[in-house]
Amino acid sequence: MPLSAAALSTVINSATDTAIIALDSRGAVLSWNPGAVRLLGWSEQEMLGQTLLRIFPEETNPQARVTEEMADAQSKGRGGHEGWRMRADGSRFWAVGELTPVTDPAAAPVAFVKVLRDRTQWKVSEDALREEKRTLEILNRAAATLARENDLALVVQAVTDAGVEVTGAQFGAFFYNLVDAAGESYTLYTLSGAPRAAFEGFPMPRNTALFGPTFAGEGIVRSDDITQDPRYGQSAPWHGMPQGHLAVTSYLAVPVIDRARHVIGGLFFGHAQPGVFTERSERSVALLAAEAAIAIDNARLFEAAQREIEERRKAEVALQTLNATLESQVAERSQQLRLHEEALRQAQKMEAVGQLTGGIAHDFNNLLQGIMGNLQVLRKRLGQGVHSTAADLDTYVTRALASTSRAAGLTHRLLAFSRRQPLSPKAVRTNPLVLSMQDLLRQTIGEKVELSLQLAPDLWTTLCDENQLESAILNLAINARDAMPGGGRLTIETHNAELDAAYAAALHGVQPGPYVCIAVTDTGTGMTAETLAHAFEPFFTTKAVGEGSGLGLSMIYGFTRQSEGHARIFSEYGQGTTVRIYLPAHFNAEDGPAHALPAPSATAAGKGEVILVVEDETLVRELVAEVLRDLGYQVLEAHDGPSGLHQLRVPQRRIDLLITDVGLPGLNGRQVAEAASAERPDLKILFMTGYAEKVSASQPFASPGREILTKPFEVDDMARRVRALLDGGAGR
């Protein structure tokens, strides 16, 4: 028997946990049961005649949702879906809804019934289960990697990557509980989610209060908003995150503690948004840290075992060699073996340091070019009256250019040390240079040390890099000061020296002839014979940790050798030290740079020629292209060798000049140039490089129709080179 209207109303109104809503054919509310009041918060009086748009979150496009549900109900007999819904108080809940039509005898819809149920708890449980499953998969995958891997670097990287993935952090890092040479900052070992360059300028200070608990092994530190932590901003000099640092609001850190309860280091995770990390995040990184400690211990033991095996193998080989020789030759053979091993270590050490400094300078110069060139273009435009934003204020330009010049100077010093960077030689009058340094030298050596200058009046001119010579003299003065802690006398002497064939033959790589000698003498502690034998070695120092890098004398050695001179040290323990720098005399009457560039002129302007720029560093490529376009050239761009060759091979395309970086990944600049010349024999080519070793004289870079431009370069210099190449002349 069908229910009466009253009975049906009673049934509907008794459903207090389910919203049952009647809608007319246009979607306006006809009835609103107590379940709807309880679930959604609006009274029946508030909702009668209203649509259901308000129960949908704004980001879900409410009108489209309501229209879609009604259309599905009419066409399919049922509409609706599950998702987040809004209550009157603004809170949200996960709902499962269904909309069914009420039809007349002709099957035309005259009304709709909406049934809505709260499934928030089910949704939360399902999400939690899914997240728990994801977390276990990540942890199991990381555990499998740690179990099979013995490489320490790969172990720590796997842990850091897993931590970022499992916590949802934007970046993560592992810092060893070791301070740097200055004793000020912890050592960054691995990064995940951010480039290493993002941290190179921002070390982790040892005295920062926020990091202290982690390196003390005091447990997990979690913050929903790091700026609200009372320890935040309490450590000089930053008083908060330094400018330019990655944004960090949510913060999570856990110590990694080995079996002996020593803190190996710390895992740190960050996110720009607040409240990202949860208790589950804490549990996950705690498990990772425990597994990491075991894996790091195992990797260290494995490395130690490998070293032990190698040492034993070497010892067995040496023992077999000794047993095979006659007893009378044992002493002689042992001495020869020691000498050979020492020579091998020395050669490997010098080569390794050369590769290190050369590689650093190559990457650094690419960054410097993007900074310096863009700022120069901006300064020119400001000077021409081009409107600019507040962010382009000239004060920032000036500071950035000053920083760029200092950074470029650093790379030149590093590369001069490794003997891979061409110097900028010019005729230098040494006596005026030394006299101009008096104030700086006196400030450097202090009041306890007397400065004495003995400068030959008829001193010859020498050809060298003036900045490097000044740096060498200053380095020697600093070494002398440190050798005289109680005070003494520092003497700088200059004189002319004619070195004969006998002198040159006694020293490796020295040519006879006229030289300018700069001698720096102190009355300090002097050196033992053993110290004197190692004085020019990279990283060799007798100073305490943090008081010297051991690179000063090595750089002086590199500078003099590149300048076709040499350096010698004379010292006895307790009798002081003299360092003599010999630089070839230069008798050209006209002083000045050996390779002076012409002054800028309007002839650098383009005439509509087409230039292809191939450069993998985006900042450098965009800068070069913009400068060339400003000069009136048409510019094509390619980010690597293959895409550059593709441009060159387009039929009928005009290309007058190719500008390519030498150090391209994969297909390098030299290979691009050779392929381009095969396609277009008359094509002019300008190479760019930040690494002078790649353009040594033995390689066919500098030939007719080809030029080399060393980074960082002035944009005016580039413009002149381009114009000269296109006009058929030399760009220098």
**Strand partners of residue 612:** 636, 658
Yes or no: say if 177 and 188 are a contact pair by the CB < 8 Å rule: no
Q: Which helix (H) or strand (E) holds 103?
A: strand 92-103
pLDDT (average), residues 401-421: 54
Residue 705 CA: distances (Å) to CA of 49, 577, 635, 708, 725: 83, 52, 19, 11, 6
Residue 593 and residue 589: Cα distance in Å, rounded? 12
Cβ neighbour number for residue 102 with a 10 Å cutoff: 15
Q: Taking 50 as the threshold, does the pLDDT of residue 396 lie above it?
A: no
Residue 605 and residue 594: Cα distance in Å, rounded? 26
Low-confidence winner among 138-147, 219-228, 542-551 (lowest mean pLDDT): 542-551
Q: How high is the pLDDT of residue 599?
A: 41
Band (203; pLDDT cuts 50, 70, 90): low
Yes or no: say if 266 and 169 are a contact pair by the CB < 8 Å rule: no
Band (400; pLDDT cuts 50, 70, 90): low
Class of domain 426-584: alpha beta
Q: How high is the pLDDT of residue 438?
A: 87
Q: pTM for this one?
A: 0.34
Q: Taking 90 as the threshold, does the pLDDT of residue 140 lie above it?
A: no
Q: How high is the pLDDT of residue 342?
A: 60
Place of tokens 């033991």: 301
Q: What would the pLDDT profile of 166-177 be if each residue is shown by its tens digit? A: 888 888 888 887
With left for phi above 0 and alpha for psi between -120 and 50, is residue 526 left, alpha or beta? left
Q: What would the pLDDT profile of 246-289 be if each residue is shown by its tens digit? A: 778 888 989 988 888 888 888 889 898 998 898 888 888 888 88
Which CATH code fits 602-727?
3.40.50.2300
Low-confidence winner among 225-234, 426-435, 516-525 (lowest mean pLDDT): 225-234
Q: What would the pLDDT profile of 97-121 be if each residue is shown by its tens digit? A: 888 898 877 777 788 999 999 888 8
Q: How high is the pLDDT of residue 4?
A: 47
Band (551; pLDDT cuts 50, 70, 90): very low
Band (544; pLDDT cuts 50, 70, 90): very low
The domain made up of 125-301 has a fold known as Beta-Lactamase (3.30.450)
The per-residue pLDDT of the chain, averaged, comes to: 78
Q: Taking 80 as the threshold, does the pLDDT of residue 575 lie above it?
A: yes
Same fold, 125-301 and 602-727: no
Band (691; pLDDT cuts 50, 70, 90): low
Place of tokens 């000049």: 657
Q: What are phi and psi of 430, to 5 degrees?
A: -65, -40
* Structure-block tokens of residue 526: 């002097």
Place of tokens 């040494």: 430
Specify the length of the chain in residues: 732
DSSP state of 170: S
Yes or no: say if 288 and 139 are a contact pair by the CB < 8 Å rule: yes
CATH classification of 5-118 is 3.50.50.60, yes or no? Answer: no
Residue 725 and residue 710: Cα distance in Å, rounded? 16
Yes or no: say if 174 and 159 are a contact pair by the CB < 8 Å rule: yes
Residue 237 CA: distances (Å) to CA of 12, 225, 542: 69, 21, 31
The end-to-end CA distance of the chain, in Å, is 106
Yes or no: say if 552 and 567 are a contact pair by the CB < 8 Å rule: no
Residue 397 CA: distances (Å) to CA of 52, 327, 628, 663: 57, 74, 21, 28
CA trace torsion 219, 223, 226, 227 (10° rounding): -120
Scanning 32-107, the segments in alpha helix (DSSP H) are: 34-40, 44-47, 62-76
* Structure-block tokens of residue 410: 């650093």
Q: Which residue has the higher pLDDT, 330 or 633?
A: 633
pLDDT (average), residues 138-154: 75
Q: What would the pLDDT profile of 695-707 be if each residue is shown by its tens digit? A: 444 345 557 788 8
Residue 552 and residue 560: Cα distance in Å, rounded? 13
Q: What are phi and psi of 322, to 5 degrees?
A: -65, -40
Cβ neighbour number for residue 722 with a 10 Å cutoff: 27
Band (470; pLDDT cuts 50, 70, 90): confident
Q: Which residue has the higher pLDDT, 387 or 80?
A: 80
Q: How high is the pLDDT of residue 356?
A: 47
Q: Which residue has the higher pLDDT, 480 or 353?
A: 480
Q: Taking 50 as the threshold, does the pLDDT of residue 374 lie above it?
A: yes
At 470 the three-state DSSP class reads helix
Strands 684-689, 657-661: parallel, antiparallel or unpaired by DSSP? Answer: parallel
Q: How high is the pLDDT of residue 366?
A: 55
Q: What would the pLDDT profile of 45-85 be if each residue is shown by its tens digit? A: 998 999 888 989 988 888 888 888 888 888 888 888 888 99
Q: Which residue has the higher pLDDT, 11 or 141?
A: 141
Domain ranges of the chain: 5-118, 125-301, 327-414, 426-584, 602-727
Q: How high is the pLDDT of residue 609?
A: 94
